[in-house]
Amino acid sequence: MVSGNIQNANSTFLRESTVMKIHYITGLGALFVVAVHVMMRLVVPFSTSLEYENVINNYRILWYALLLEIILVLISIHGFNGLRIMLIELRQNAMWEKFVTIFTLAAMLAVIGYGTRTIIIANGL
Amino acid sequence: MVYESCKGYGSETWIPLNKKTAGNDHQTVHDEGKQNVLLRVLRGDMFKKTKRSFSTFSVPVRRWTTVLDALIYAKEHSDSSIAIRFSCRMASCGSCGMIINGIPRLACYTKISELGYDTVTCEPLPNFPVIRDLVTDFQQFFNHHRHMEPYIENQYPVPREEALSEFKQTPRDIDNYLQFSYCIKCGLCYSACPTVATDTKFPGPQALSQAYRYSADNRDDAEKKRLDIVDNRHGIWRCHFAGSCSAVCPKGVDPALGIQLLRSHLMSISKTPKTLADLRKIDDDKD
């Protein structure tokens, strides 16, 4: 019976509409910052832009490191929420949904944490 | 009696063919405006748990013969055990939905001559549990529909009977929801929805468009309640806007549009002015 399966919207930490607003905003934000990031690669020849010295120098520019951090956060939130949505659609039971939510949230925080660490180390702060 | 062997999904069934058309059953036969088509029906019984297989019947058709007419002919002349559900025969009741040549359609609303094939294949609607042959179980579908509270709600009582005369809707007010009120609950959109195929908790296009239909009605003031109902993990946000619901609707309803409009209400991008519901509320406050 579906009536027994109807989920109480208030039982979750965030309302789904709030989560989706975050999803759309991070998606649009990521589109913008990644476009800036790609365009910055075109300032110098593409092959040169990926050389070790060049990459490290980029990290040392504070505003560019900040841009990379923003990209990392936006992409992580958007990507892992997308993964959560796909996994939730696969199976429908409360335990699975709880596991998927916790797993994607933990994975998202781990990726952001590790990425931030890399940016901080490369920046030399 | 002439029999024909027909194979479908690895099984074989023998069915009697009309003598007049035997030997010509795959060919179009012109006989006083009649022609014969091959009607393939996917058979199966969920209670007996038999393997599903196609039965094939040769059916004489005319220009105006519908798939439902052909099924009834086969039931009357060849095999009375074919299970089909139908009622009005005029696309009003929404009972005879099935997959016809791969597309969800109403059997009573689909003319064989318009299909353009000599073979007509009928299968039960996907995304619904099959009871027997072409009859599917609509319980889950109707539960989703019922859960949307598909009726006008107004928590404020009418203060004066004469005030009711003021609750007239303008044509513009009606345009907000009119097309969605044409829904006959045939389940074709539900069967065509790719999200419903994987997520049984997803209400489906029919229920969501009906949630919009009543939310967009300016006599109703339960929009917030309905938005709460659809705003969950398996709710309105799981629609991927494939649009197949709108493509298969036999009544010209656009459920995909209803879902997008309801989403915009949920995102607070747009809303329907509740003039009549508000009028009733204000009137109540005065009293």
Q: What residues in A contact B235, CB-CB < 8 Å?
A: 7, 9, 16
- Residue B181's pLDDT is 96
B84 and B153 co-located in one domain: no
B129 and B156 co-located in one domain: no
**Average pLDDT value for residue range A62-78:** 96
A93: number of CA atoms within 13 Å, CB side?
2
- Which of these three, B107, B136, B165, is where a domain ends? B136
Top-confidence range, A15-24, B27-36, B214-223 = A15-24
The residue of A8, A16, A88 whose CB has the most chain B CBs within 10 angstroms, and thus the best one to mutate to test that interface, is A16
Interface confidence (ipTM) of the complex: 0.80
pLDDT tens track for A36-66: 998 888 887 877 888 888 889 889 999 999 9
- Domains of chain B: total: 2
Does B14 score more than 70 pLDDT?
A: no
- Which of these three, B136, B155, B188, is where a domain ends? B136
Closest CA of chain A from B225, distance in Å: 11
Q: Is the Cβ–Cβ distance between B77 and B19 less than 8 Å?
A: no
Nearest-CA residue of chain B relative to A86? B238
pTM (two decimals)? 0.81
**CATH code of residue B57:** 3.10.20.30
- Which of these three, B136, B165, B193, is where a domain ends? B136
Does B131 score more than 80 pLDDT?
A: yes
Q: What residues in A contact B201, CB-CB < 8 Å?
A: 2, 5-7, 92
Alpha-carbon distance of A46 to B46, in angstroms, equals: 62
Closest CA of chain B from A104, distance in Å: 15
Domain ranges of chain A: 14-123
Interface of A with B in 75-94 (CB under 8 A): 85, 88-90, 92
B92 and B213 co-located in one domain: no
B156 and B131 co-located in one domain: no
Residues listed for chain B: 287
Judging by beta carbons within 10 Å of its beta carbon (0-12, 13-18, 19+), is residue B169 exposed, middle or buried?
A: middle
User: Could you tell me the pLDDT band of residue B285, with boundaries at 50, 70 and 90?
Assistant: low
- Residue B47's pLDDT is 83
Closest CA of chain B from A82, distance in Å: 11
Q: DSSP characters for A11-78?
A: GSSS-HHHHHHHHHHHHHHHHHHHHHHHHHHTSS-HHHHTSHHHHHHHHHSHHHHHHHHHHHHHHHHH
**Residues in CB range of B113: below 8 A, 6 or more apart:** B61, B62, B63, B64, B65
**CATH code of residue B237:** 1.10.1060.10
Q: What residues in A contact B139, CB-CB < 8 Å?
A: 1
Range scoring the smallest mean pLDDT among A41-55, B141-155, B215-229: A41-55
Judging by beta carbons within 10 Å of its beta carbon (0-12, 13-18, 19+), is residue B214 exposed, middle or buried?
A: buried
Contact A2 B267 (CB under 8 A): no
B109 and B127 co-located in one domain: yes
Q: What residues in B contact A88, CB-CB < 8 Å?
A: 199, 233-234
Fold of A14-123: 3 helical TM bundles of succinate and fumarate reductases (1.20.1300)
Nearest-CA residue of chain A relative to B146? A3
B178 and B114 co-located in one domain: no
Interface of A with B in 7-26 (CB under 8 A): 7-9, 12, 15-17, 20-21
Unique residue bearing structure tokens 């329907």: B272
- Residue B50's pLDDT is 77
Contact B231 A3 (CB under 8 A): no
Nearest Cα to Cα of residue B231 among B263, B270, B272: B263
pLDDT tens track for A112-122: 999 999 999 99
Unique residue bearing structure tokens 């019947």: B57
Q: How far is CA B273 from the centre of its chain?
A: 30
Does B136 score more than 80 pLDDT?
A: yes
Q: What residues in A contact B202, CB-CB < 8 Å?
A: 89
B231 and B196 co-located in one domain: yes
**Tokens representing residue B97 in the block:** 């939905």
Q: What residues in B contact A7, CB-CB < 8 Å?
A: 201, 232-235
**Residues in CB range of A118: below 8 A, 6 or more apart:** none
**Tokens representing residue B35 in the block:** 């022609």
B219 and B123 co-located in one domain: no
Domain that residue B43 falls in: 2-136
Does B8 score more than 70 pLDDT?
A: no
- Residue B283's pLDDT is 57
